Structure 1
Amino acid sequence: MQTSRDRFLDVVRAGAILAVIAQHWVMPVLSYSDGHLATGNALATPGWWAITWGSQVMPLVFFAGGAANLISFRRAESPRTWLAARLKRLMLPVLPLLAVWLVMPDFLRGLGIPPQPVQVAGAIAAQLLWFLAVYVLVVLLTPPMVAAHRRWGLKVPLVMGVAGVLVDVARFNDLGYIGYANAIFVWVAVHQLGFHYVEGRLGSLTRRAALGLSAAGFGVTALMVAFGPYPASMIGMPGAPVSNMSPPTVLLAFLAVGQIGLLLAFRPQLNALAERPGAGHALDWLGARFMSVYLWHMPALVVVAGVTVYGLDYETPAPGTLFWLVMAPAWFAVCGLVLLGLLRLFAHFELQRDTAEVTAKVPQLVVAGLMISGGLLGLAAHGFAPLSDGIAHGPVPWVVLATAGFLLAGKQVPVIELLGRAVAVSERATVRR
């Protein structure tokens, strides 16, 4: 059982966010001509799907999140205070992103940038909010899932995995939309594995057992790709009929087992690395800004691509060529510098601690979480668009929904009474029509 700060989890989280950044910054294949920004994916290069078996690290994010959530949940005064703190801590760094990108599309259009590149920029800035939308739901489920973990142990992720398989079967038999149920089944299953690291056998595996677990996870993944309907790439590819990521397939749960086992096999070495003064300082710095780094690394890419591809008529080289290999370090360096500048502007939102008293009850917090999740999911699906194109059908309703959820996670309000009044007003408006 883990009782103090676990440096292994810090390494996993840091490695995961760095892998996410590297993947997103290496992927774009861009060119601009006649008002149109052409976009492609470097990882669609033949054979490069193998990279995604290591670079698709969302399973590790949910695993480390599960472990961290259980550790903090045990220390919390009550489930109510824990839920409120988690919701506010997750949403607070998002607020400046929402504020900036509400006005950014209109600002870019005002500079004379054509509509299509602005639309691409707004979509890129918002697309990563899908993770937060799902993660908030997982956080809402954490208190009952902790109870389930302590009662049924490994049966819980196993049942989730079986449910994920059944969802995939239905999905691949012309019931496509049911696949989105795996956003819960798959990610909650991986989140539960984090519980088993803290309060189960995963945290005490020998190297041989961990390597065996890894081999089993990657082996099943390979078999399902070879003989099943699953694509080899662990991320979505342009034009591909099926994506393992959107919505997630159960394949990602088996990939998670492979990745987790491999990291656990080298846990002593990773802990030793984390104990080095320089590495420890870097882990602390990154850990305190985890959400801000995640949220702003794609806007950093938008800035660099906008200046170079649109402004300077630069065309990214063909992936894998010598010129691409030569230019990649410079591309990463410039994106990194822009990201650091954005962090200096916006990371303090994440660094500040909210000391306001929480009076909201659990039902209100659940409603708040659902509002946050719904708002962020809407933004991820539709992107940020110019306000001049229309308020009602743009990002404003989604921003209002998510922000209202954030505010609702604090002071207690008569939610049921307010909902009743809203329904009554709606009914009166309908009658008048």
Structure 2
Amino acid sequence: MRESRQKPPRDRFLDVVRALAILAVVVQHWLMPVLSYSDGRLATGNALATPGWWILTWLSQVMPLVFFAGGAANLYSLRAAPSTRDWLAARVRRLLVPVLPLIAAWLVLPGLLSELGVPAQPLQVAGSIAAQLLWFLAVYFVTVLVTPAMVAAHRRWGWRVPAAFGVLALLVDVARFNDLGLLGYANALFIWLAVHQLGFHYVDGKLGSLGRNKALALSAAGFGSTALMVAFGPYPGSMIGMPGAPVSNMSPPTALLGFVAIGQIGLLLAAKGALNRLAARPPVTAALRWIGPRFMTVYLWHMQALTVVAGITVLGLGYATPEPGSTLWFVLAPMWFVLAALVLSGLLRVFGRFETRPPSGTVTAPAWQLAVAAVLASAGMLGLAANGFAPPAGTGLFGGPLPWVALTAGAYLLSGKRLPRPAARPVLAQRVKA
């Protein structure tokens, strides 16, 4: 039986969570790089590798909140959609369209920048950074595809679903830390599907109605478990990958991120009342309404803004990032942030229209065709994230981004119109004379 199709009222708390998450992503990515340039080579480091700063990643690594809010939003929108096919069509197109101009730009930029004299190594670094964030879309397309099945599982088994994913994630970690490292990538689904499922429990379960004290207890349990697993387990303290670290909690994700998710979600739920009051203020309401339709554009283009600023200041003017934590670093960091914000604002004016304009035409693709499109898009995003937009010299035409771009383009075409059926062959009837 289909659930209610009535459009739910706007959930201000989820709007705030998503806005805080994208803001945290931008702030971390803009202030994290430690850059210098010499003899045609760009040296890169991570400010969060500064001793003691890893603890900041327990709050700044907000991908758990992105999947949590995504789960809640997907459940709301699926229930309001006329059909599962209509919902899947809208979701696949909404995710695909904003990424197309980014891909188109980076098909041209490597050759153009090379002609302008940018050395190969910095160009390769820039192309890699530009594509790395597409890992999120690779996972999220799969998440969207299985959402209807996950909603059915949620109705039938409730809390046992995220608990089962959590157990599977722990078992994958055991295998990973016993020299079966490739199995760790299974957690790219187990962890994020578990957190996505928590969004369902926010919408129609006890999670969304937790009081402040219970929410704080939940947060303490999540962060407390994280601390114990870092102190006595094989897990590093940072929730992002660090240069030279033998293990990353993020790539691929470990079960530790599930406990961080519980800590972060509990903390925000404890502040839900205050956040709702904040969201009700007219200036904040206006800001949330503005950024809501532009989340994907901000996510996709904020690193391009950083690349522009770094290209001009580091490669062009010889600027080098001061020692992280030094007085000079704290003085210059706001200026660096403002420059990147100005560039991003310009990029949003140019490319934000691809996400904010109403969809053109009617999507007539059947559900199976949309499912194939989601799989192709996921594969294309994963290939681009792993290989970058600017391949190393000598890899040839098909060693670069073109195969993955072709998959993405195929996904876009499949997500629109129904494929034409082949014309039936005429059958010539012949009379058999006796």
User: What range describes the TM-score normalised by the shorter chain of this pair?
Assistant: over 0.9
Do residues 407 (structure 1) and 413 (structure 2) align?
yes
Deviations 1:59-91 (A, max 9, x none): 000000000000000001111111111000011
How far apart are 1:3 and its partner, in Å? 3.2
The separation in 2 between residues aligned to 1:275 and 1:386, in whole angstroms, is 47
**Which residue in the other structure is 2:43 paired with?**
38
- The answer as to whether partners of 1:103 and 1:387 remain within 8 angstroms in 2 is no
**Which residue in the other structure is 2:299 paired with?**
294
Deviations 1:203-240 (A, max 9, x none): 11111110111010111111111111100000000110
Do residues 373 (structure 1) and 371 (structure 2) align?
no
Matches within 5 A, 1:6-405: 6-385=11-390, 390-405=396-411
Q: Per the alignment, in what secondary structure is the counterpart of residue 129 of structure 2? A: helix
Normalised by the size of structure 1, how large is the TM-score? Answer: 0.94
**Higher helix fraction (1 or 2):** 1
How far apart are 1:412 and its partner, in Å? 1.5
Normalised by the size of structure 2, how large is the TM-score? Answer: 0.94
Q: Per the alignment, in what secondary structure is the counterpart of residue 241 of structure 2? A: coil
The separation in 2 between residues aligned to 1:412 and 1:288, in whole angstroms, is 27
Residue 349 and residue 387 in structure 1: after superposition, are their counterparts in 2 closer, same or farther (change >3 A)? Answer: farther
Runs of 4+ in 1 over 4 A off after TM superposition: 386-389
- The answer as to whether partners of 1:105 and 1:386 remain within 8 angstroms in 2 is no
How far apart are 1:353 and its partner, in Å? 1.5
Q: Per the alignment, in what secondary structure is the counterpart of residue 399 of structure 2? A: coil
**Which residue in the other structure is 2:429 paired with?**
none
How far apart are 1:356 and its partner, in Å? 2.1
**Which residue in the other structure is 1:428 paired with?**
none
**Which residue in the other structure is 1:422 paired with?**
none
- The answer as to whether partners of 2:132 and 2:384 remain within 8 angstroms in 1 is yes
The separation in 1 between residues aligned to 2:50 and 2:390, in whole angstroms, is 31
The separation in 1 between residues aligned to 2:192 and 2:361, in whole angstroms, is 31
The separation in 2 between residues aligned to 1:267 and 1:204, in whole angstroms, is 10
- The answer as to whether partners of 1:360 and 1:408 remain within 8 angstroms in 2 is yes
Letter in 2 for 1:121: A
Structure 1 unaligned blocks of 5 or more: 418-433
Letter in 1 for 2:251: S
Deviations 1:289-341 (A, max 9, x none): 10000000000000000000000001110100000000000000000000000
Letter in 2 for 1:163: L
User: How many residues are treated as equivalent by the alignment?
Assistant: 416
The separation in 2 between residues aligned to 1:356 and 1:387, in whole angstroms, is 39
**Which residue in the other structure is 1:423 paired with?**
none
Q: Per the alignment, in what secondary structure is the counterpart of residue 397 of structure 2? A: coil
Structure 2 unaligned blocks of 5 or more: 423-434
- The answer as to whether partners of 1:103 and 1:386 remain within 8 angstroms in 2 is no
Deviations 1:119-171 (A, max 9, x none): 00100111100001101110001000000001111110000100101111111
Letter in 2 for 1:413: L
The separation in 2 between residues aligned to 1:249 and 1:201, in whole angstroms, is 26
Deviations 1:322-368 (A, max 9, x none): 00000000000000000000001100000012142222222211111
How far apart are 1:96 and its partner, in Å? 0.4
Letter in 2 for 1:53: W
How far apart are 1:388 and its partner, in Å? 8.6
Letter in 2 for 1:293: V
Residue 388 and residue 104 in structure 1: after superposition, are their counterparts in 2 closer, same or farther (change >3 A)? Answer: farther
Q: Per the alignment, in what secondary structure is the counterpart of residue 318 of structure 2? A: coil
- The answer as to whether partners of 2:8 and 2:80 remain within 8 angstroms in 1 is no
- The answer as to whether partners of 2:162 and 2:194 remain within 8 angstroms in 1 is yes
The separation in 1 between residues aligned to 2:180 and 2:369, in whole angstroms, is 34
The separation in 2 between residues aligned to 1:249 and 1:396, in whole angstroms, is 31
- The answer as to whether partners of 2:71 and 2:197 remain within 8 angstroms in 1 is yes
Deviations 1:270-292 (A, max 9, x none): 00000000001011111111000
How far apart are 1:386 and its partner, in Å? 6.2
The separation in 1 between residues aligned to 2:392 and 2:343, in whole angstroms, is 26
Residue identity over aligned pairs, in percent, reads 68
